[in-house]
Structure 1
Amino acid sequence: MTKVYDEFLVPSNLKISQLALLRHINQLGPVSVSDLAVVIRLDRTTLVRNLKPLEKSGFVEDISTEKTRNRQLRLTDKGIETYKYSEELWEKAQSFLEEYLGKDNISTFTTLLSKIEALVS
């Protein structure tokens, strides 16, 4: 599934995992790395590694007033623009998958994923 989304996201130069990070940072507003790690259920070290390309590309910035271990992150203007564009591409991928697999199958798949996630949490 990620390959389908990644293909649709090629024009944005993002992977679906990167879009997910931008989405969470956008929704949470300024958010600490630790809080973001909890929300997305990813260990802090892996999250920091995954954030580096987004920071290097100028999509995410640290707005902490002091250099602390737990930085505060937000999207830059460039990040917001890229996020909005990528969301449009994501919608196209979603529509493609719904048409290809059928809405009922997508719904069943989503339900199963939620149950599996609850089981392993």
Structure 2
Amino acid sequence: MTSPDLPQGCTNFRLRRLTRMVSRHYDAHMAASGLKTTQYSLLTNVLARGPLRPTDLAQALNLDASTLTRNLKPLVQAGWLSQDEGADARSRLISITDAGREKRAEAQRLWRTAQNEMNALLGIERVHALHALVDENIAALQRAGLTDEEGDDTVAHRGAKA
């Protein structure tokens, strides 16, 4: 028998359901730019932090090196990011290109529309409360030693003003 004070149902299932719904909303808007939301986030983070070494970008986004390499590849191939020699022959620097800045600006307009629609759908107060609750819980889980395996996209999601 469960206590009436304990939450009922699976927290993981509820959060995954919510994130799938929100992701579909943003992805539908971002599709017009030809970017996935993860690619937009990478462009935004490189713009805000770069030029920088892949190791530093992976650390900033809390991604493992192979995931970062896989995610960077199509952006480099499209000419939106470049990987140039760093301080020595063994190091590389990732930077955003002019074409990448243009692509990011295009996607930013679409992201902003998606964000404004989400604000309207949920209400500004609810979005503020959701952000605060999510941030508080991320901090609590980090204090408990859990890490964010998929990356911290706060630079890209602070209003995408970078």
Q: Normalization by structure 2: what TM-score? A: 0.70
Alignment partner of 1:15 out of 15, 27, 36: 36
**Greater share of helix:** 1
Aligned Cα root-mean-square deviation (Å): 1.4
Q: Which of the two has higher C-alpha Rg?
A: 2
Please name the residue that 1:37 is paired with. Answer: 58
Aligned mates of 1:67, 1:22 — CA distance in 2:
25
The count of corresponding residues between Structure 1 and Structure 2 is: 120
Q: Deviations over 1:56-93 (max 9, x none)?
A: 1111001215552x421001111010011111111000
Alignment map for 1:95-106 (pairs within 5 Å): 95-106=116-127
Letter in 1 for 2:124: K
Under a length normalisation based on structure 1, what TM-score does the superposition of the two structures give? 0.92
Q: Which residue of 2 aligns with 1:80?
A: 101
* Structure 1 gap ranges (5+): none
108-117 or 33-42, larger mean C-alpha shift = 108-117
% of aligned pairs identical?
A: 32
The answer to whether structure 1 residue 54 and structure 2 residue 75 are counterparts is yes
Name segments (4+ residues, structure 1) moved above 2 Å. 65-68
3-state DSSP class of the match of 2:35?
A: coil
Point out where structure 2 has 5 or more consecutive residues left out of the alignment: 1-21, 148-162
Partner of 1:90: 111
Name the counterpart of 2:159. none
